[in-house]
Amino acid sequence: MHAIEDFDLRRPPPGFIDDPFPWYAALREHAPVHRCPDGSLLLTRYDDCLDVYRNPAVSSDKRNLFGPKFGDTPLYRHHTTSLVFNDPPYHTRVRATLAEALKPRAIEPTVAALERVVAKLIDELEARRDVDVIEHFASRVPVEIISSLLTVPPEDRDDLRRWSLAILGALEPELTAEQHADGNRAVVEFGDYLRGLIEYRRAHPADSPNDVLATLTALYDRGELSERELIHNCIFLLNAGHETTTNLIGNGVHCLATHPEAAARLRERPALIKSAVEEILRFASPNQLGNREVANATTVGGLHVEPGTQITLCIGAANRDPAQFAHPDVFDVERSPNHHLAFASGIHACVGMALARIEGKIALGALLERFGTIELRSSPPVRRRIRFRGLERLDVTLSR
């Protein structure tokens, strides 16, 4: 292993992407407030991450971080306009609308649709038997659900995954020229697509009990959002709503295939699916990193920090912190309490967490109910990402 004091998130050591957890453990123990070569701080302890999420002296505004990284490009405009990378009062206004549209009561009609989508996919999986879980299941469920909330017609949904992977891929700590170009192209194509969809929906309103696109368009009509803000928040929502949830389901199936005793316990006691989903979120967190910038001088992990300091919160490491979780490297579907940070905390805590949890529960619950064994056919390749943790493909054999 490299010396931990040389650790650099922008140039991760060999093997880090496949298995970052030994690195996280070493950082947590020897350098919990680690200064990276670019001057930013990397936090790996649970308590330090939680403190930062709740600290009013830190900001989510990413203009200083993304200006040099993206230049004056569509990617810069997108990422600095979406609510997640903004502070109040703009953030509060957009969040209030989304929180209303995504609260458990509002998504009830979506749950019925979700059950139908999952039942159909499970039948298809049974007919195939040997499947790539990512392609044939994990990526399909969330794209159907978030698309139906934003009234995207079924025939257009395939493009969303491609655009989303390119746009969220540009949030990696270090980018190639090709990733830049792909990300910029995806923002332009996605934006043009949404402009067309909004126009179409004005003429042909969707027959939907919870039309989030219409809710956001109404804010624009009342002058509460600019056109740029409308488009970029829709892009963000479509992206946020599906890649992370794809990884929750994909990582979940992988955890169950590699822990057959846990899968057996869940078949025996299906009610445990709720705590199992929380454990998957903790153990294989779909989003491993969060970022903040110090706006006013403050203390982080006992260290005085000046305004302008960039902070990376390592969710994946915080969720394996032995000071917070007993036997953190053990996958325990009955873990309680389990106050993981997979959805972050504080004012930016995930607004779609109720929906994500239901998707995880219904998808994994139905899979376990139908199939008595989930057998890995090969060791699955991990997607070459540091921020989002998921599998490129997951080949399994499913049997009743």
Residue whose C-beta lies closest to ligand HEM: 352
Ranges of H-type helices in the chain = 21-30, 46-53, 63-70, 74-81, 90-101, 108-128, 133, 140-149, 157-169, 177-203, 212-221, 227-240, 243-258, 260-268, 273-283, 315-318, 353-370
Window of 177-185, 203-211, 244-252, 322-330 that interacts with ligand HEM by CB under 6 A: 244-252
Looking up tokens 């991450």 gives 49
Distance CA(25)–CA(32), nearest Å, equals 9
- Taking CA atoms, 345 is separated from 99, 184, 250, 311, 356, in Å, by 15, 30, 24, 15, 16
Residue 245 near ligand HEM by CB under 6 A? yes
| Binds ligand HEM (CB under 6 A): choice among 169, 183, 252, 286 | 286
How far is 341 from 321, CA to CA, in rounded Å?
A: 11
Total residues binding ligand HEM (CB under 6 A): 25
| 350 interacts with ligand HEM by CB under 6 A | yes
Residue of 314, 355, 362, 398 interacting with ligand HEM (CB under 6 A): 355
| Contact residue for ligand HEM among 9, 42, 83, 284 (CB under 6 A) | 83
Question: Residue 95, interface with ligand HEM (CB under 6 A)?
Answer: yes
Is the C-alpha dihedral spanning 154, 159, 165, 170 positive or negative?
negative
The CA distance from 205 to 80, in Å, is 30
If binding is defined by CB under 6 A, does position 248 make contact with ligand HEM?
yes
- List binders of ligand HEM among 117-146 (CB under 6 A): 146
**Least distance to ligand HEM, CB of residue 388, Å:** 9
Token pair of 235 as six digits: 């892009």
Q: Which stretch binds ligand HEM (CB under 6 A): 133-141, 220-228, 239-247, 300-308?
A: 239-247
Q: Which is nearer to ligand HEM, 226 or 399 (CB)?
A: 226
Strand 41-43 and strand 395-399: pairing? unpaired
Nearer to ligand HEM, 95 or 180 (CB): 95
Residue 356 interacting with ligand HEM (CB under 6 A): yes
Residue 287 touches ligand HEM, criterion: CB under 6 A: yes
- Of 308, 249, 251, nearest in space to 59 by CA: 308
By CB under 6 A, is residue 214 in contact with ligand HEM?
Answer: no
Q: Which of 213, 240, 257, 367 touches ligand HEM (CB under 6 A)?
A: 240
Report the distance separating Cα 18 and Cα 390, nearest Å: 10
> Site residues (CB under 6 A) for ligand HEM?
60, 83-84, 95, 98, 102, 146, 237, 240-241, 244-245, 248, 286-287, 290, 342-344, 348, 350-352, 355-356
